[in-house]
Structure 1
Amino acid sequence: MNLTVTGHHVDVTSSMRNYVNDKMERLQRHSDNLFGVHVILTVEKSRQKAEATIKVSGTQLYADTTEPDMYAAIDLLTDKLDRQLIRHKEKMKTHRRTGDTAIPE
């Protein structure tokens, strides 16, 4: 997984980068086809915003959150992306029946 963390009006410290990395590792459980994750951390006055774009096979997933605390925003962002990945995985699953589908007489 290729993880990129950038900051907008904020210096991304190593502790923030490690925190985001640990949280995004959780997303690996649901899909092995994560090609890239781009996280943008933004500070606007008293609002802390975290947004991410994930490239998955077939599509891109996007989520963003705004909280007073940056670490809380990262937590909520990870939860949103987790739910989106689960939903995407269910969509990609084939629902065809296998075997004999003939109706017995």
Structure 2
Amino acid sequence: MKFEYTGRHIDVTPALRSHVESHFERLAHLFDGNGDRSAHVIIEVEHGKHRSEIIVKWHDHVLTATTSVLDMYQSLSQTIDKIEKQVLKLKSKITDKHQKAQKISTLTPPDEDDV
């Protein structure tokens, strides 16, 4: 997965980068091997709160999550958890769509000659 980092009023340190990338490694099994995947991680400090936003482009979908808490690492972890939930929901929709289409295509109306 390609990562792009943006820091607003904060420097994106290698420790923050490794924290994000290690959490996304945990999610690697959810993203299938097909298609391009990219993530834009926006880290911001405003009024003492650490805000993180992650935008993931996967296949034809854009997944977005935002969290604002007092600790940057917690903010990133919670945002990645939100992305994980969105990926699971999207994958279940895709599999349900394929399963429904498959069931409908296997059903054929009886021929009038057979009746």
The answer, yes or no, to whether TM exceeds 0.5 is yes
- Among 64, 88, 91, which residue is 1:89 paired with? 91
Aligned-residue Cα RMSD (Å) equals 1.9
- Among 41, 44, 52, which residue is 1:39 paired with? 41
Larger Rg: 1 or 2? 2
Q: Structure 2-normalised TM-score? A: 0.80
**Is the 1:50–1:66 Cα contact (8 Å) retained in structure 2?**
yes
Displaced runs of 4+ in structure 1, greater than 3 A?
98-103
1:26 & 1:58 partners in 2: Cα distance?
A: 22
1:56 corresponds to = 58
Q: Structure 1-normalised TM-score? A: 0.87
Stretches of structure 1 that go unaligned for 5 or more consecutive residues are none
Greater shift, 31-40 or 17-26, is seen at 31-40
Q: How many residues align?
A: 103
Q: Percent identity?
A: 30
Q: Deviations over 1:30-84 (max 9, x none)?
A: 1124510110110002110010110011211100000100000011001100000
Stretches of structure 2 that go unaligned for 5 or more consecutive residues are 110-115
2:82 corresponds to = 80
